Amino acid sequence: MRRKLTFRQLLLSILALWYDLSQKELGARTGIDPKEVSQYLRRKRRGEIKDELFERLLAGMKCSPAAVWIVTGCLEALEALEEAGELTPEERAVIEEEILASARLQREALSEAVRLSRGVPVEGYPEARDLGRARRRAEELFGRLKKRPQEMRLVMVADAEEYQGWALCEKCCDASVREASRDLEAAAAWAQLAQEIAERVRGPEGWRQCIRGYAAAHAANAVRVAGEPKAAEAPFEEAKRLWLSGSDPAGVLDPGRLLHLEAALRRDQRRFEEALACLDEAEAVGRQPELAMIQRGFTLEVMGDYEGAVKALLQALPIIEGQGDVRLLYMTRFNLGVVFTHLGRYNEAAAIAQEVRELATGDENELPRITWLEGRIAAGLGRPREARRLLTKARREFERLKMSYDVALALLEEAVLLLEEGRPAEVKALADELAQVFADKGVHREALAALRLFHEAAERAEATAELARRVLRFLFRARHDQGLRFES
């Protein structure tokens, strides 16, 4: 090695410089002759300083153990840098820069976690008078977690009791459900964090079982939303076992939540009657009966029962309007508008579309869907030119956002209009744009089979408006019912 001082000499020298300690001061504190101190801290001394003397000199520094660890870490990093001979100087610089940035984040997170954990009592089963306070505190803590990358969130949860409460676990579960329709990775991350918190929640074992089951159900739901209902089955059953074997006598957690999640799983598994039974129970025992109504409407829509879907959504609408949840109101109205178009009730759909656009301002993913809905309505009202303009605009936006399934829906809507006008050559050119959809691994096998059938017919100039409508109707239902088969 190039350095002349031993590791312990370097450590003591740096600490003495940092705390501005002269050899005389250190000698007075340790009872060692200042000339000897000078030898220990300078190059004149050969060999490692022995343990007893090293501890004596360190004690004389009167620095915190943390300071010793920090300097030790720096010296070890320098040593590792010298030993990384196979890397270029530029590569070593990048590595050290990343390590330094990560260390800063970790130090900040751990410092905050320790501060927050001071005086936090061991929790028992939560009492009614404490629920509001616990949930308000969870909101604050969740706000801090949101600003951190997932690895830092996990550190904070592991190291600070403040982040190990049932209310924060509940909040992370809510975040996972909310993100499920927008960001699958975020939904899975929040569910994972909820499970980490659930494992650390304190209190009676029955209560802890409930919490663990609650969090595990959301992790299983993240798997389902990612398009893996079969893979979600076993973890959900384990979550259900934990939940049912636990004890939550005061109903701190929503007793309807697992029923909602199970209904979604059964729907995706094409076990529709079981899904509807879960929703009936969730509406009766849960805290958000309107969500059960919305989910029932969606399930009936997937089943092709559009009249039943309208009834369920209209039942939920006044409750949601009274709550003021803008996103939930948007989703309900948008779904209602789509179902109205399935039933040919285009004037009612048009009235809703205007309200939906006002609710969705600024949401990049939703705005093209509204344009698509407006195009579908215009076609139903006998305005084909306007309909094609809107559908083309929506399709281009879907392509930009890589929303392949929506691209296919818009394209088929356009194809119906062109075929009704006797323009098969334009349909053939349009169908060539399905290549992007065919390449998307997120579009399932049966949907691809139906689209390929239409594509081949268009290539032969044999596609008809009726074929395009049949494929379109199938895609609507098959999007959330991957077990549905297309009858050619």
Model confidence pLDDT, tens digit, residues 94-104? 666 766 666 66
- At 83 the pLDDT is 67
C-alpha 27/C-alpha 57 separation (Å) is: 9
C-alpha 300/C-alpha 135 separation (Å) is: 34
Q: Are residues 405 and 476 in the same domain?
A: yes
Question: CA–CA distance from 262 to each of 188, 233, 239, 279 (Å)?
Answer: 17, 9, 11, 9
pLDDT per position as a tens digit, 167-189: 999 999 999 999 987 788 999 99
**Mean pLDDT confidence for 240-262:** 96
Nearest Cα residue to 169 out of 143, 200, 147: 200
User: Is residue 356 included in any domain, yes or no?
Assistant: no
CB contact at 8 A, 207 and 125: yes
pTM above 0.75, yes or no: no
Q: What number of residues does the chain have?
A: 488
- At 186 the pLDDT is 95
User: Is residue 291 included in any domain, yes or no?
Assistant: no
| Torsion angle of the four alpha carbons 443, 446, 452, 457, in this order, in degrees rounded to the nearest 10 | -140
Q: Are residues 215 and 141 in the same domain?
A: yes
Nearest Cα residue to 142 out of 126, 111, 165: 165
User: Is residue 387 included in any domain, yes or no?
Assistant: no
**Mean pLDDT confidence for 64-80:** 74
Please determine, for residue 354, whether its predicted confidence score (pLDDT) is greater than 70. yes
User: Is residue 267 included in any domain, yes or no?
Assistant: no
Please determine, for residue 109, whether its predicted confidence score (pLDDT) is greater than 70. no
- At 221 the pLDDT is 97
C-alpha 158/C-alpha 487 separation (Å) is: 53
Q: Are residues 68 and 164 in the same domain?
A: no
Domain boundaries, position 412: 400-488
User: Is residue 179 included in any domain, yes or no?
Assistant: yes
Half-sphere exposure of residue 112, counting CA atoms within 13 Å on the CB side?
15
Q: Are residues 239 and 161 in the same domain?
A: yes
CB contact at 8 A, 313 and 290: no
User: At CB < 8 A and 24+ separation, what contacts does 445-448 make?
Assistant: 446/478, 446/482, 446/484, 446/485, 446/486, 447/405, 447/408, 447/474, 447/475, 447/478, 447/479, 447/482
C-alpha 116/C-alpha 107 separation (Å) is: 14
**What's the token pair of residue 341?**
């178009």
C-alpha 478/C-alpha 350 separation (Å) is: 25
**How far does the chain reach from its first CA to its final CA, in angstroms?**
76
Location of structure tokens 């028992």: 124
User: Is residue 419 included in any domain, yes or no?
Assistant: yes
Q: Are residues 162 and 224 in the same domain?
A: yes
181 or 370, which is more confident: 370
Number of domains in the chain: 3
CATH code of the domain covering residue 445: 1.20.120
pLDDT per position as a tens digit, 133-157: 999 999 999 999 999 999 999 999 9
Q: Are residues 68 and 139 in the same domain?
A: no
pLDDT per position as a tens digit, 20-50: 888 888 878 888 887 887 777 765 555 667 7
Q: Are residues 219 and 154 in the same domain?
A: yes
Q: Are residues 140 and 74 in the same domain?
A: no
CB contact at 8 A, 342 and 304: no
460 or 80, which is more confident: 460
What whole-number percentage of the chain has pLDDT above 90? 50
Please determine, for residue 117, whether its predicted confidence score (pLDDT) is greater than 50. no
- At 120 the pLDDT is 41
- At 25 the pLDDT is 83
Please determine, for residue 111, whether its predicted confidence score (pLDDT) is greater than 70. no
CB contact at 8 A, 160 and 118: no
Question: CA–CA distance from 295 to each of 181, 271, 289, 299, 318 (Å)?
Answer: 13, 14, 10, 6, 16
Domain boundary residue, one of 196, 224, 247? 247
**What's the token pair of residue 47?**
């060999």
Domain boundary residue, one of 227, 247, 267? 247
User: Is residue 457 included in any domain, yes or no?
Assistant: yes
DSSP calls for 431-463: HGGGHHHHH-TTS-HHHHHHHHHHHHHHHTT--
CATH code of the domain covering residue 60: 1.10.260.40
Please determine, for residue 159, whether its predicted confidence score (pLDDT) is greater than 90. no
C-alpha 373/C-alpha 355 separation (Å) is: 12
pLDDT per position as a tens digit, 383-431: 999 999 999 999 999 989 888 888 999 999 999 999 999 998 898 888 8
- At 90 the pLDDT is 73
What whole-number percentage of the chain has pLDDT above 70? 88
77 or 301, which is more confident: 301
Q: Are residues 62 and 157 in the same domain?
A: no
Domain boundary residue, one of 213, 247, 281? 247
User: Is residue 61 included in any domain, yes or no?
Assistant: yes
Banded pLDDT at 1 (limits 50, 70, 90): very low
**Mean pLDDT confidence for 185-202:** 96
